[in-house]
Amino acid sequence: MPDIHNKEIRRKNMQAVKTANTLIEKRISQFLTELDIQFYTQDKSLPGKPDFVIENYKAVIFTHGCFWHQHNCYLFNMPQTRKEFWTRKLNQNQIRDQRNISDLTSQGWKVLVIWGCALKGKYKLTDLDLKERIEEWLCAHSHNAEIEINGLKKTNYALS
Active site residue 103: no
DSSP string across 43-87: -TTSTT--SEEEGGGTEEEEEE-TTTTT-SSTT----SSSHHHHH
Q: What pLDDT, on a 0 to 100 scale, did the predictor assign at position 152?
A: 59
Q: Which of 22, 41, 71, 97 is catalytic?
A: 97
- Residue pLDDT, tens place only, 59-94: 999 999 899 898 888 888 888 888 899 999 999 999
Q: Which of 63, 64, 71, 105 is catalytic?
A: 63
Residue 133 pLDDT level (bands cut at 50, 70, 90): very high
Active site residue 129: no
Mean residue pLDDT across the chain: 84
Helix and strand numbers (H, E) in the chain are 4, 6
CB 96 within 8 A of CB 88: no
- What structural domains does the chain harbor? 7-155 (3.40.960.10)
Residue 39 pLDDT level (bands cut at 50, 70, 90): very high
Q: Which of 64, 69, 71, 105 is catalytic?
A: 69
Work out the average pLDDT over 113-129.
90
Helices 23-34 and 127-139, packing angle to 10 deg: 70
SS3 112: strand
Active site residue 51: yes
Q: Which of 113, 114, 103, 104 is nearest to 58 (CA)?
A: 104
Exposed/middle/buried for residue 90 (C-beta within 10 Å: 0-12, 13-18, 19+): middle
Q: Which of 100, 30, 22, 26 is nearest to 67 (CA)?
A: 22
Residue 17, pLDDT above cutoff 80: no
Q: What predicted TM-score, i.e. pTM, was given to this entire model?
A: 0.81
Q: Which of 3, 22, 33, 51 is catalytic?
A: 51
